[in-house]
Structure 1
Amino acid sequence: MLDPNNSETTQMVSEINALLADHFALYVKTKNFHWHVKGPRFRDLHVLFDEQAIEIRDQIDDIGERARKIGGDTITSLGMITQHTQVKDEDNTDLTAEEMVVKLRDDNRRMVERLKSMKSTAEAAGDNATDGLIDDWTDMAEERVWFLNSVLG
């Protein structure tokens, strides 16, 4: 186990918690769009948004457990999610399908950027396991960006 009192480990836990907050917020936003999408591409986007939401949801536990494995605590509340996420709320249920796709694509792009920026922290902490997981999570987020970008044409 990494030394939880080491400043690099503390920074890694902080970044993992921000990533965890992003996943919670992006999951809710993606499900929101899944429920509210309308228009000629309804079926395709309804299914795509649900598939992406499930993938994001399924990463949440692994991310939270990673923080615990390296000796840290995880976010504990909706307030902490709101405090740590870079994903903006979207309460407008009248967005066009294209607007939804753009918003999700952009949120996933920011997640890719966050993940890539975490690599140096994992290396500094000597956290090879998190470093490897970051690669997997980056690949999944890049695939979501690719799919959403492809929908836009």
Structure 2
Amino acid sequence: MTDVAEKLATPTDLKSNDIKDVGDGLNRLLADSYALYLKTKNFHWHVSGPHFRDYHLLFDEQAAAILGTTDAIAERVRKTGGTTLRSIGDVSRRQTISDNDKDYVSAADMLAELRDDNLAMVESLRELKDIADEARDHATSAVIDEWIDAAEERAWFLFEAAQKG
């Protein structure tokens, strides 16, 4: 019987120890993406107040953008020979973005929490870029730049939406 790892082996010229670090970082990013996606959708479903429509649409747009990156993240793991997330439990073991299970969160607190989570994701992405650069995984490093820009933009929109006046 053929070993499962052998069936999933993807040819790569990258060193296995280095690429394992990249894969671990990408899987953590993927878990955080799902956690942030679900939190953003949670806030989309539960926002209320005078700016309901604006925030409802903003959260929905941001959730869609976050979800839109998940396949690319997982495929980077696979292209370099790794395996990726398999379950909600796997997500919960790897995520660094905290869940929010509160019954009520004010719109202002939603904006601030999502802004901070996106900025935390930017920080994690910068660390992952250093790991990818060290591993000479140029493709991962390049796409991380796009993900950083997208997370910075989300944080910026959330910050601006929270301004008074």
Q: TM-score, normalised by structure 2?
A: 0.90
Identical amino acids, percent of aligned pairs: 47
| Structure 2 counterpart of 1:28 | 38
CA RMSD of aligned residues (A): 1.1
Aligned structure 1 segments of 4 or more residues deviating by more than 4 angstroms: none
Q: Which structure 1 residue ranges, 5 or more long, are not aligned?
A: none
The alignment of Structure 1 onto Structure 2 pairs a total of residues equal to 153
Distance in structure 2 (CA, Å) of the matches to 1:116 and 1:7: 20
Distance in structure 2 (CA, Å) of the matches to 1:34 and 1:93: 14
Distance in structure 1 (CA, Å) of the matches to 2:100 and 2:130: 32
After superposition, residues 1-153 of structure 1 pair within 5 angstroms as 1-3=11-13, 6-153=16-163
Distance in structure 1 (CA, Å) of the matches to 2:142 and 2:114: 25
Distance in structure 2 (CA, Å) of the matches to 1:121 and 1:5: 13
- Of structures 1 and 2, the larger Rg is shown by 2
Q: CA deviation at 1:3?
A: 4.6
After superposition, give the CA deviation of every residue in 1:49-101 in whole Å (9 maximum; x if it has no partner). Answer: 00000000000000001100000000111111011111111111311100111
Distance in structure 1 (CA, Å) of the matches to 2:41 and 2:162: 19
| Structure 1 counterpart of 2:5 | none
Q: Which structure 2 residue ranges, 5 or more long, are not aligned?
A: 1-10
